[in-house]
A and B are shown apart, each in its own frame.
Chain A
């Protein structure tokens, strides 16, 4: 309401009523869009918590149940899938942090021959992501005997051009005087990186970390190709074959499985919403 008051105050008096009507329309549209955008999730909750005869029928008095979750949990090894996804996401993130930090540091603070060309070659990956090269990367993985391993899922993503780029930009904004001060105190390059750059780039690490985790938590095509068994399958692949339409769609159980799969990320998102949005914004502005 304060918005309306604000506009009315500065707008000519004649237009005020028309304007506030338009404003209401706008608010309505914004809400409607929000509702539409949330609708799939709303439906997932509806169908997961009601018996399957209500999956396609909406009755406010429909009984609630947790059976679908029980059924979904018993039909697929979700616990194992969680573990796989967790191991995959954390291993990717840890290695990404290390590799990208080192490379970004090199690009930001060292003059070496071929640096600009090397940086250009790194940026190639922003365009040609590992998803596009599934055929050849699969070939490579089978030669390395890494098919159907967690390492195999993560390896193509571990040297991330996006991460390198982001950290390089951040490192470049850090005043050189801080580095010089550290050097006077007798710090070597690695110590400087560890004591000066890394702590100051903490927001970037958080931002990049959240982007990376949500990307890999949700990634599907490459894990589908590279995993064969349930000891490596992440949640997305597990969910896809658990809910494969070929086996006849039973939305109650599928949506229950879907909610199980997205729950950790969704809960984290709801709890740290501001952080998430800020992080994505931070990562985007760079």
Chain B
């Protein structure tokens, strides 16, 4: 009886899983491995078929100044977007969780960027950043600030891209914090008040530590996003000027679909996969099972 049931379980389990498994293997596991394999081959053209070239692609990558710059940009992009968007998200959640005049409207405002396509809002941000006639310069002019070429200056362009990403992400992350805040027992705050703790102390000592699992969850999302969110580059800068705002995924796209060098793009993708793998392992080792995955 039990063994019959067991076999039935085996068969059913795998049968139910199969359709999803086929697609997952085809579009996640197979391509991840194929990417690695392709990185050892040259890109074929009609006249020159693809052939095995060992580590040549990796050698050109290491010599490729643009690659190094793109990698550096991506790190700055991560450093710029992750802490700020998380901090703003937390702030938003705390505000919206309290009794705030016009709370519904405020919450809606915070959340709206989440449901707007990045590609659509990029043109609006282009207006904000355009020198002379753009909003930023017009507002600056009211205070007598000289106009600035926001996207045309290698020093400010990445900051501009980061600002958009923060704007886009913060409301999304806020939701997770809000959900977590609502599960905190209100008695805690009452107790803290009785002991005369200030709001800040209470937040620092009680709320924030209790929100740690959420912070970790949001953190991982933010890290993944910092490799994934490149849509705005297509409209705003195309990675320029002089690659100052180019990011790894955008550079991969450029190589694969603009220069038709798929195999070099595969080599770059391997780097991206490595980065994601490191994050995944880090998550597994450091956080283990403390995170939300019950």
Contacts and interface: CB of A to CB of B under 8 A. Distances in A.
Interface of A: 1-3, 6, 10-12, 26-27, 30-31, 33-35, 37-38, 40-41, 43-44, 47, 55-56, 98-100, 102-103, 105-107, 110-113, 115, 118, 121-122, 124-125, 127-140, 155-156, 158-159, 161, 164-165, 169, 189, 214, 217-221, 224-225, 235-237, 239-240, 243-245, 249, 251, 254-255, 258, 261-262, 265-266, 269-270, 273, 276-277, 280-282, 284-286
A236 B121 CA distance: 11
Contact of A135 (B180, B235, B265): B265
Contact of A112 (B10, B19, B196): B10
Given A220-B118, A261-B117, A27 B101 contact: yes
Contact of A281 (B22, B34, B176, B196): B176
Interface of B: 6, 9-10, 12-14, 16-17, 19-24, 26-32, 34-35, 38, 88, 91-92, 95-96, 98-102, 104-121, 123-128, 133-135, 138, 167, 170-172, 175-176, 178-180, 182-183, 193, 196, 217, 224, 227-228, 230-231, 234-235, 249, 252-253, 256-257, 262, 265-266, 269, 272-273, 276-277, 279-280, 292-294
A158 B123 CA distance: 30
A34 B110 contact: yes
Given A26-B95, A124-B29, A137-B27, A262 B120 contact: yes
Contacts of B101: 1, 27
Given A218-B117, A286-B292, A43 B27 contact: no
Contact of B135 (A43, A118, A217): A43
A181 B205 CA distance: 47
A110 B13 contact: yes
Nearest to B196: A12
Which of B12, B91, B178 is the most central at the interface, judged by chain A CB atoms within 10 Å of its CB? B12
Contact of A139 (B116, B262, B280): B262
Given A31-B106, A261-B120, A130 B27 contact: yes
A73 to B, nearest CB: 16
Contacts of A40: 113, 116, 121, 124-125, 128, 167
A198 B11 CA distance: 21
A130 B252 CA distance: 14
B20 A136 contact: no
Which 6 residue pairs of A and B lie closest in terms of their CB atoms, listed nearest first? A112-B13, A136-B31, A110-B13, A159-B23, A106-B16, A218-B117
B134 A56 contact: yes
A41 B20 contact: no
B171 A37 contact: yes
B31 A133 contact: yes
Contacts of A255: 123-124
A27 B102 CA distance: 10
B35 A136 contact: yes
Given A138-B256, A218-B116, A261-B120, A133 B27 contact: yes
A132 B228 contact: yes
Nearest to B223: A127
B110 A134 contact: no
Contacts of B106: 30-31, 34
B224 A43 contact: no
Contacts of A224: 234
A55 to B, nearest CB: 8
Given A103-B20, A134-B253, 17 more contacts: A11-B193, A47-B127, A56-B127, A103-B21, A106-B14, A106-B16, A110-B10, A110-B12, A112-B14, A127-B276, A135-B269, A136-B38, A220-B231, A245-B126, A255-B123, A277-B107, A284-B217
Contacts of A139: 34, 262
Given A106-B12, A134-B256, A139-B262, A127 B280 contact: yes
22 contacts: A6-B99, A10-B193, A41-B112, A103-B21, A106-B17, A107-B17, A110-B16, A124-B29, A133-B28, A133-B269, A136-B34, A161-B24, A169-B294, A218-B119, A220-B117, A244-B235, A245-B126, A255-B124, A258-B124, A277-B107, A277-B111, A281-B175
